[in-house]
Amino acid sequence: MKGFNGKILRVNLTSGRLSVEEPSEAYYGRYLGGRGFIIEKLLTEVPAGIDPLGPDNKLIFALGAITGHPLPGNGRNSIGAKSPLTGAYGESEVGGFWGAELKKAGYDAIIVEGAASEPVYLKIENGQAEIRDARKIWGLEVADADKAIREELGGEKYRIAAIGPAGENLIRFACVLNDITHAAGRTGLGAVMGSKKLKLIAVKGDNPPEMADRDKILQMARALAKDTKENPTGFSINGTGGAMDKYEAIGNLPIRNFQGGTFPNVKELMPQRMKEKGYWDKMESCFGCPVRCKKKLKKIDTPWHVDPIYGGPEYETLAALGPNCGIDNLEAIMKGHELCGRYGMDTISAGATISFAMECVEKGIITKEDTDGMDLTFGNAEAMLEMLERIAYRKGFGDVLAEGSKKAAEKIGKGADAFAIHVKGTEVPMHEPRLKQGMGLHYSEHATGADHCTGIHDERLSMSELNSMDVAESVPSTELSPRKARILYQLGLWRHIPNHIGMCLFVSWSQKQLTEAMEYITGWPMSYWKLMKTAERGITLARIFNIREGLSAKDDTLPQRFFTSPEKGPLKGVSVDPDQLAEAQKIYYQMLGWDESGVPTYARLVELDIEWAQQYLRP
Amino acid sequence: MKGFNGKILRVNLTSGRLSVEEPSEAYYGRYLGGRGFIIEKLLTEVPAGIDPLGPDNKLIFALGAITGHPLPGNGRNSIGAKSPLTGAYGESEVGGFWGAELKKAGYDAIIVEGAASEPVYLKIENGQAEIRDARKIWGLEVADADKAIREELGGEKYRIAAIGPAGENLIRFACVLNDITHAAGRTGLGAVMGSKKLKLIAVKGDNPPEMADRDKILQMARALAKDTKENPTGFSINGTGGAMDKYEAIGNLPIRNFQGGTFPNVKELMPQRMKEKGYWDKMESCFGCPVRCKKKLKKIDTPWHVDPIYGGPEYETLAALGPNCGIDNLEAIMKGHELCGRYGMDTISAGATISFAMECVEKGIITKEDTDGMDLTFGNAEAMLEMLERIAYRKGFGDVLAEGSKKAAEKIGKGADAFAIHVKGTEVPMHEPRLKQGMGLHYSEHATGADHCTGIHDERLSMSELNSMDVAESVPSTELSPRKARILYQLGLWRHIPNHIGMCLFVSWSQKQLTEAMEYITGWPMSYWKLMKTAERGITLARIFNIREGLSAKDDTLPQRFFTSPEKGPLKGVSVDPDQLAEAQKIYYQMLGWDESGVPTYARLVELDIEWAQQYLRP
């Protein structure tokens, strides 16, 4: 088998047993790696109804066929588990160097099961795996733990996936960080890692993976690199966030917990401003990628010390800790970003949970008494920063917000849930679903809750991405129609392919290039149809996982807020029509071969070669 | 636009008006030609419930993107209309040179509507079309009409699609023949042409179509030609029929109207025997195709005169006029084949209708009194030949059989329908659905009735054709299961692609090659997904056409005979289980996005960008 190592490492932290499994080539061919492996394992190995933070949950790190191969956007891996934030299917993708290193170390995936009684870490070096004592590094912030373990192992060459105090403290939106700056942010997988008392996984490998046609891959890599250099996108220049002012103008930028309106100081927060202010160092890359989309900033000493080791904030972070909290202070956001890195917390959920609390304060639902005296009001940068720490360490009111906005609203009561802007428990990312109604539709139905990486950002762009003359004309962003469901169906499948094969969305692959890359790497006959059907398989299995956990179509909704329109700003008068949403969902379900209530039909399971999953749909 | 001319010729024979339409590039991109054009036009232009042999029917000749381009298997065109044999969607594909010539003459399709009051023919030369008097050639056999019109037009360079007396006499299984030997055999399109008093269409063109990337196409053509030469399949050596003895041994060869048993003299009828007997001349090809699968035979003088101008019999003809009529006389079959060519009748339906009558005689349902004194018994070669003529000219009992086996059985009554081996009125081709149960499933659901070109012949081969690791293991030929429905779904789409793009099944294209060929010709971004979805679009529109005509899931069945097993022979004890068939159909429907009763869902129409067709599903 080419492209993959053919080996999956299973680590039982309860027993300390390590074992290696070698699934068949047909298995690899059916799921193609990444989320495909994860969902198959979670569905077949994790019983229904278990506590996501208990030893019965499994945390799976999985690579795709492309991970670690000499191609742009090749540095990614998937992580998955039952989510402590949603109680549903949890998954997040992450870049950096860790995935490629694991591939070189001889594995395609790691299944972590059980839980250690004392903190441990995992060391993997060229096929050899070892569970080691992590008591000395437990409690350390991410960069400190990273440094300590490199010293202990005596080498800079390890690649490390770690959690911070937030993961240890079971913050429900704690993340896992690859080499300090690359976050698998969403759905609280850092808390699952913390619950298993697994501080980090250090990996080293010296064996680059084999390819079926190395020459063709190198040729393709050169062409893509050349194209990236000659036609750099905004990603290579500013990372994300370079268009925040445009977002503000059209209403895509969330402001004050998605209340809408305008945010005149938006330019103060943009990457361009970081450059003007002299904070900018350079752009950095993931493993072997010419896109170089990661901001590296300089040390800042005032008004806050900001350690550049944690990288620089991207758009989601800038918006979540900035305008959505009513904050226009760039340095505060940069500090907040650094804190989220130190503690290991998802910046979207952290920011959105704080903005939720700020609106509760604004609406009089909570007062200074509830917040331990803090003035948690929109625009208060100091309070935002203080709150991040209190959340990570579950101090006072931070212990409430550490549960994420959905559970926090339940604890607070008094109608607070009206201001918790989440889907299935996952805080809504920084793209307005009233403007991007295709994205809103996607937020509503996605297995992991609101996710901005797999939906529709721009209908016109999407159609050109799909190279689809089938979609005869553009559908306006604010339209929510059956045709929008169609774009989401096709684009959704396309956007899920990267999560299987370990590829980054920021590389402008065409369908043809992606298909060829997969063929040249694996040597398997490949087609875009096969890739799309693999994505459909993953989406359907994730749906079945959620149904088994008790979720249904009624959980496929948007926060009430989006069914009303903002009182001012570019989205005045614009809202999501709940009937249109329900209708578009039904259409979308059926396109996927699910019934009108979103339950996959047996026929589609057979078509996708996963009829084995039918058993999980039976009561 | 490349690949297509962008022009469709509309010919109204009632008014004599000729007009040219230029649909948008998006239209071409959505349907890709061939059956895609045909079904869209039939559905939108032909009202429900019309008489297939009346002036309201439309007869459509349509080319695909590949037709007429320098690639193997490029000589094909589709013909369609509401079928007089089934009252449902009618379509047939045909090779030769006519399609390529029409492409060079400047058109992608011809829509023939209305009906002439006196016989006419159509002359098309480099974009110029003309309706001309055909009274002199009306009544002529196919080759005679062909010759006469070439003399009239003063040139050998015309390519001619013609009907014979059978088409003129509205025989419900009359065919259309390209250049005498290439038959668009099934579903009675020759009768539709006859009903319009259109004897033939003579075409001449001098402008080869443009391609987006001529060099790549020529490169591909050379590679495919080289591969065909170095690895010739049986098609290049014997045409079809070279494995009849193997078919007989495993039970695939229909014997005595599908009654089963053995046929020891099968070797007497095979192409190899034609060679031994000195009847063989050489293999001929369609337009520019290296496969060369068409038998050219020598003149025979005894015991019957056989004119070699009508080509040689292929497997379907050999079986239908041979073993399925209990006949083991090679020369008689060759003569029968020639007669079908002379008169312009589908050899499958002609043979099967005669074998139906022979069984009615065997069972005592009809006697010599009914058959005008003929001894129409199994094995009587003279009677078979005589009957072919009586059918073509509707003489005596031939007038009954000219209606096809279904309608003939209705006329005969007395339980004759038990021996009419058809689906929806289309006689079952020469592949046993009890052995090939995937093919049986396909026969049962296909829009045009039993069709052997778009179903499953060999599960193992099919899977390799699909390059599909998705289908993890082979499913035995006699198994009829949900997994078999899955193979049919994927393979069925794949096998329908050629009918859209004008490609021959006998060229071993890979998915990748076909996708690339389409891209190099049209310049449109292409993917295997897009091709499969185009095929799905065609299948779904044909279904809607049939639903509008009053057909439903109850018409998706097999002749009762196949639910019982033969008393002897290789299929003793083997039958189709009707419950398994119904279950597999349901699964298959749902895979196509139809409901359990086979009605396409609105969601799938939207997905396929054909929501316009929803109106035809409303009562």
Banded pLDDT at A467 (limits 50, 70, 90): low
ipTM of this predicted structure = 0.92
Distance from CA of A573 to the nearest CA of B (A): 28
Residue/partner pairs of B135-141 with CB below 8 Å, 24 or more apart: B137/B199, B137/B200, B138/B168, B138/B197, B138/B199, B139/B165, B139/B168, B140/B164, B140/B165, B141/B165, B141/B342, B141/B343
Is the Cα torsion angle B433, B434, B438, B444 positive or negative in sign? positive
Residues of chain B whose beta carbon is less than 8 angstroms from a beta carbon of chain A are 25-26, 29-30, 467-472, 482-483, 485-486, 489-490, 510-512, 515, 524-525, 527-530, 532-533, 586-591, 593, 601-604, 606-609, 611
pLDDT at A556 exceeding the cut of 60: yes
pLDDT tens digits, residue range B15-26?
A: 999 999 999 998
> Which residues are CB-neighbours of B618 under 8 A, at least 6 positions away?
none
CB contact at 8 A, A200 and A121: yes
Is A604–B590 a contact, with Cβ atoms under 8 angstroms apart? yes
Is A587–B593 a contact, with Cβ atoms under 8 angstroms apart? no
pLDDT tens digits, residue range A122-174?
A: 999 999 999 999 999 999 999 999 999 999 999 779 999 999 999 999 999 99
| Residue B467 pLDDT | 63
**% of chain B at pLDDT higher than 70:** 98
Cβ neighbours of A520 (radius 10 Å): 23
| Residue A335 pLDDT | 98
pLDDT at A494 exceeding the cut of 60: yes
| Residue B257 pLDDT | 98
Q: For residues A4 and A539, what is the distance between their CA atoms, to the nearest angstrom?
A: 22
| Residue B539 pLDDT | 98
Q: Which residue of B lies nearest to A537 if distances are taken between CA atoms?
A: B470
pLDDT tens digits, residue range B39-57?
A: 999 999 999 999 999 999 9
pLDDT at B135 exceeding the cut of 80: yes
* Topology match between the domains B8-204 and B236-427: no
Kindly state the average pLDDT of the residues B315-323.
98
Cβ neighbours of B413 (radius 10 Å): 9
Kindly report which listed range (A235-244, A467-476, B113-122) carries the lowest average pLDDT score: A467-476
Pairing of strands A8-12, A109-113: parallel
- Chain B interface, mutation test: which of A607, A608, A610, A611, most B Cβ atoms within 10 Å? A607
| Residue A472 pLDDT | 45
Kindly report which listed range (A106-115, A541-550, B81-90, B497-506) carries the lowest average pLDDT score: B497-506
Interface size, chain A vs chain B, as Cβ–Cβ contacts under 8 Å? 125
Secondary element (H or E) of residue A486? helix A482-501
Which residue in A487, A486, A590, A495 sits closest to A535, CA to CA?
Answer: A495
Q: Which of A530, A593, A607 sits opposite B486 (nearest CB)?
A: A607
Select the CATH number that applies to the domain covering B8-204 from these four: 3.60.9.10, 3.30.590.10, 1.10.3720.10, 3.40.1180.10.
3.60.9.10
pLDDT tens digits, residue range A396-450?
A: 999 999 999 999 999 999 999 999 999 999 999 999 999 999 999 999 999 999 9
Which residue in B197, B208, B192 sits closest to B117, CA to CA?
Answer: B197
**A555 SS3 class:** helix
| pTM of the predicted protein model | 0.95
pLDDT at B474 exceeding the cut of 90: no
Q: DSSP for B205-230?
A: ---PPP-S-HHHHHHHHHHHHHHHHH
- Taking CB atoms and an 8 Å cutoff, what residues of chain A touch B23? none
- State both tokens at B25: 């590039």
Q: Which residue of B lies nearest to A463 if distances are taken between CA atoms?
A: B525
CATH topology of domain A236-427: 1.10.569
Banded pLDDT at A473 (limits 50, 70, 90): low
Kindly report which listed range (A99-113, A454-468, B333-347, B372-386) carries the lowest average pLDDT score: A454-468
CATH topology of domain B437-617: 1.10.599
- Which residue would you say has higher pLDDT here, A618 or B51? B51
Distance from CA of A36 to the nearest CA of B (A): 13
Q: DSSP for B388-420?
A: HHHHHTT-TTHHHHTTHHHHHHHHH-TTGGGG-
| Phi/psi of residue A9, nearest 5 degrees | -90, 130
pLDDT at B465 exceeding the cut of 80: no
Q: Which of B469, B490, B606 sits opposite A486 (nearest CB)?
A: B606
For chain B, the domains span 8-204, 236-427, 437-617
The three state secondary structure string of B577-595 is CHHHHHHHHHHHHHHCCEC
Q: What value does the mean pLDDT of chain A take? A: 95
Return the bridge partners of A79, or none: A61, A92
**A542 SS3 class:** helix
Kindly state the average pLDDT of the residues B401-416.
98
- Taking CB atoms and an 8 Å cutoff, what residues of chain B touch A593? 590-591, 593
Q: Which of B469, B528, B608 sits opposite A524 (nearest CB)?
A: B469
Q: Which of A530, A590, A602 sits opposite B593 (nearest CB)?
A: A590
pLDDT tens digits, residue range B196-226?
A: 999 999 999 999 999 999 999 999 999 988 9
- Taking CB atoms and an 8 Å cutoff, what residues of chain A touch B607? 486, 489-490, 591
Is B532–A530 a contact, with Cβ atoms under 8 angstroms apart? no
Q: What is the DSSP letter of B266?
A: G
Cβ neighbours of B517 (radius 10 Å): 27
pLDDT at A242 exceeding the cut of 70: yes
**A91 SS3 class:** strand
Q: What value does the mean pLDDT of chain B take? A: 95
Pairing of strands A198-204, A120-125: parallel
Cβ neighbours of B618 (radius 10 Å): 6
| Residue B475 pLDDT | 84
Q: Which of A29, A529, A587 sits opposite B532 (nearest CB)?
A: A529
| Residue B472 pLDDT | 44
